[in-house]
A and B are shown apart, each in its own frame.
Chain A
Amino acid sequence: MIDTYVPNGSSFAGDIDHVILVITAITGFWFFLAEAVLFYLIIKYGEQEGVRAKYVAGEDPKEKRWVAWPHYITLLFDIYIIFAAISVWQDVKQTMPQADETVRVIAQQWAWTFVHPGADGKLDTPDDIRVVDELHVVKGKTYHFELQSRDVLHSFSIPIFRLKQDIIPGRTVRGWFKPTLTGGYDIQCTEICGIGHGIMPARIIVETPEDHAAWVLALTPTQAAITPSEQPTQLGGMP
């Protein structure tokens, strides 16, 4: 349902959509039910000639159950939501499946630099490919990512992956994803990071292995010659 508007482009996007829909359905059901009861009571017990309003404290069990029963049922639903969410949290955030490749994402006010491992598949080697505002990955490969910030808090978000992860200056925050759709999609910062926060978009290009190999080949010689790989020590302030 959500993927009608934002495609479902990672191995765990469907699980996250499911949690979102479960929560929406449960809270939506209670919202509409509560509003219906509220308006029913407002209309039924509106101002009446000769009837004086009275303060109801809810001490009478017959009155209290209007609050107590929905409360108990809500708690049951909460337990269901917690179980559903914990299972997804465990799979997406607590488990790191074996990576086929690792990419480094360096955020700054107001741009993204993506460090790709190049043909050797390893970061911090001379053939690393550093590209501003464009992350190239292969469909079906499992990626680990290392998030770093040059200045302030940022947040790495790829809506089609249902991925959102804060980036904290001075730390390397790790996570993973596995793209399942080819094409170009948005990357955005989802932590207000200064005056240019709204204008620091980037793109993720999910390619076939052949297209990605051609891209790596096209960029490796130039990048390796002109911009040798930087070590993580570059971080932590203005160069």
Chain B
Amino acid sequence: MHRMTSFLLLALALSACRPEGAKKTLPGNELYAACISCHGTDGQGQEKIAAPAIAGLPQWYVEAQLVKFRSGVRGAHPDDYEGLRMRPMSRQMMDEGEVKAVAEYVSKMAPKKQAPTAASSGGDAAAGAAAYGTCTACHGADGKGNQALNAPPIAGQYDWYLVSQLHKFKKGIRGTNPKDVTGAQMRPMSMTLADDQAIKNVVAHIATLSK
């Protein structure tokens, strides 16, 4: 009886396997189907579910973040509510090839400059410009980032996303995993922003930068 049941279960499991010929890396546009429900078909994200705009982000950055999410280097802190949601989604990319393919697809989507929201209202862009001096070393005066320093572009990104990430870095919710080398570089930089107002100021300045 047990042997028979085991055989039937095995047969059922085998029938669910992909045939040998189907074991290939899916193209980026098909893989991106897993991302649409949060980041949208155009990659512009949506604030109500805290999904940032990803369209046009450089391939190396999207790839690096997906690798971090997949391995639990990012998005595995108990207080990282949004990151914990992204982590299982990143695991829908089954291997490095699929990570690369979807990252390439995202990098080729048309970027768009996001309009300021309530997240940065009350921020003093002039004061933020002074504080932004620290950021220029890596992200550049134009906020376009620098691959050599692993710094992503931040110009054009939603202000609420930048505010939330700066808070996470400051609180140690992001950038504290021992394997997150680039996060560990960003964390002390975020600490130079003394309080919520300083964060709003610098994000208000970033909002003035052209995409």
Contacts and interface: CB of A to CB of B under 8 A. Distances in A.
Interface in A200-239: 200, 226-227, 230, 234, 238-239
A165 interface: no
Given A110-B88, A226-B172, A227-B172, A195 B37 contact: yes
A109 B85 CA distance: 6
Given A227-B78, A239-B79, A132 B91 contact: no
A195 B35 CA distance: 10
B185 interface: no
Nearest to B2: A4
A238 B84 contact: no
B191 interface: no
A130 B78 contact: yes
A144 interface: no
A230 B85 CA distance: 19
A132 B78 contact: yes
B77 interface: yes
Interface residues of B, number: 20
A139 interface: no
Contact of B82 (A4, A133, A196, A238): A238
B5 to A, nearest CB: 8
Given A132-B76, A132-B78, A196 B176 contact: no
Contacts of B78: 106, 113, 130-132, 227, 230
A188 to B, nearest CB: 13
Which of A111, A133, A150, A200 is the most central at the interface, judged by chain B CB atoms within 10 Å of its CB? Answer: A111
Contacts of A130: 78
Give the interface size bracket for A toward B: 20 to 34
Contacts of B82: 238
Contact of B87 (A111, A238, A239): A111
Contacts of A133: 76
A238 B50 contact: yes
B41 interface: no
A150 B84 CA distance: 12
Contacts of B136: none
Contact of B176 (A110, A195, A226, A238): A226
Contacts of A110: 84-85, 88
A108 interface: yes
B92 interface: yes
Contact of A196 (B76, B79, B88, B172): B88
B85 A199 contact: no
Interface in B140-197: 172, 176
B81 interface: yes
A115 B92 CA distance: 27
A111 B82 CA distance: 10
A88 B20 CA distance: 48
Given A150-B81, A199-B89, 4 more contacts: A108-B85, A110-B88, A195-B37, A239-B81
Interface of B: 2, 5, 37, 50, 72, 76-79, 81-82, 84-85, 87-89, 91-92, 172, 176
20 contacts: A4-B2, A106-B78, A108-B81, A108-B84, A108-B85, A110-B84, A110-B85, A110-B88, A132-B78, A133-B76, A196-B89, A199-B91, A226-B172, A227-B79, A227-B172, A230-B79, A238-B50, A238-B81, A238-B82, A239-B81
